[in-house]
């Protein structure tokens, strides 16, 4: 049985934490900043942990050899 490949787009966009959660960049900060408040812009900095339902899809489909939660 051949090995599955990790999606190259996923390896650039997601990181796995030690506990198996998926970290991703915050969405909503590419354009349209003029209509957002300064508070919104400030809160969109950095990364966030994905919801469990989204993380499950990323780990199973796109990153099959990422760290598994025990």
Sequential DSSP letters for 18-47: TTS-EEEEPSS-SS-GGGS-HHHHHHTSSE
Query: pLDDT digit string (tens) for 1-57?
Result: 899 999 999 999 999 999 999 999 999 999 999 999 999 999 999 999 999 999 999
* Maximal C-alpha separation, the chain: 52
Please check whether residue 2 lies inside any domain of the structure.
Answer: no
Please check whether residue 69 lies inside any domain of the structure.
Answer: no
Please check whether residue 3 lies inside any domain of the structure.
Answer: no
pLDDT confidence band for 66 (50 / 70 / 90)? confident
Domain span holding position 41:
8-62
Number of domains in the chain: 1
């Amino acid at each position: 049985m051949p090995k599955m490949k990790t999606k190259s787009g996923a390896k650039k966009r997601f990181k796995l934490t030690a506990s198996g959660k998926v970290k991703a960049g915050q969405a909503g900060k590419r354009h349209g900043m003029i209509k957002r408040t300064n508070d919104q812009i400030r809160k969109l900095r950095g990364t966030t942990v994905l919801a469990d339902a989204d993380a499950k899809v990323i780990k199973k489909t796109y990153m099959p050899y990422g760290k598994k939660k025990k």
